[in-house]
Amino acid sequence: MLAGKRILLVIGGGIAAYKSLLLIRLLKTAGAAVTPVLTRAGAEFVTPLSVAALAGEKVHEALFDLTDEAEMGHIQLSRVADLLIVAPATADLMAKLATGRAEDLASTLLLATDTPVLMAPAMNVRMWDHPATRRNLAVLQADGVRFVGPEDGEMACGEFGPGRMAEPETILAAIDAALADGPLKGRHVLVTSGPTHEPIDPVRYIANRSSGAQGTAIAAALRDLGAQVTFVTGPATVPPPAGVQVVRVETAREMLAAVEAALPADAAVMTAAVADWRVANQNGQKMKKDGSGKAPALEFAENPDILASVSKGPTRPRLVIGFAAETEQVVDHATAKRVRKGCDWIVANDVSPATGIMGGTENAVVLISAAGAEAWPRMAKDQVAKKLADRIALALQNS
Question: Binding site: what residues are annotated?
Answer: 276, 286, 304-307, 323, 337, 341
* Separation CA 305–CA 297 (nearest Å): 25
- Cβ-based burial of 289 (10 A; exposed 0-12, middle 13-18, buried ≥19): exposed
Q: Catalytic annotation on 157?
A: yes
* Separation CA 385–CA 328 (nearest Å): 23
Distant-in-sequence, close-in-space partners of 64: CB < 8 Å, separation ≥ 6: none
- 369: nearest Cα among 326, 329, 337: 337
H-run or E-run covering 93? helix 91-99
* Separation CA 220–CA 240 (nearest Å): 9
Q: Which of 53, 156, 157, 280 is catalytic?
A: 157
H-run or E-run covering 393? helix 381-398
CA diameter of the chain: 85
- On whether the CB atoms of residues 145 and 55 are closer than 8 A, the answer is no
Binding-site entries for CTP: 276, 286, 304-307, 323, 337, 341
* Separation CA 233–CA 271 (nearest Å): 10
- Cβ-based burial of 64 (10 A; exposed 0-12, middle 13-18, buried ≥19): exposed
- Cβ-based burial of 215 (10 A; exposed 0-12, middle 13-18, buried ≥19): buried
- On whether the CB atoms of residues 349 and 330 are closer than 8 A, the answer is yes
* Separation CA 84–CA 172 (nearest Å): 13
Amino acid at 101: R
* Separation CA 376–CA 384 (nearest Å): 8
Q: How far is CA 210 from CA 131, 173, 218, in A?
A: 31, 26, 15
- State the DSSP string of 16-71: THHHHHHHHHHHHHTT-EEEEEE-TTGGGTS-HHHHHHHHTSPPB--TT-HHHHHH
Catalytic residues: 157
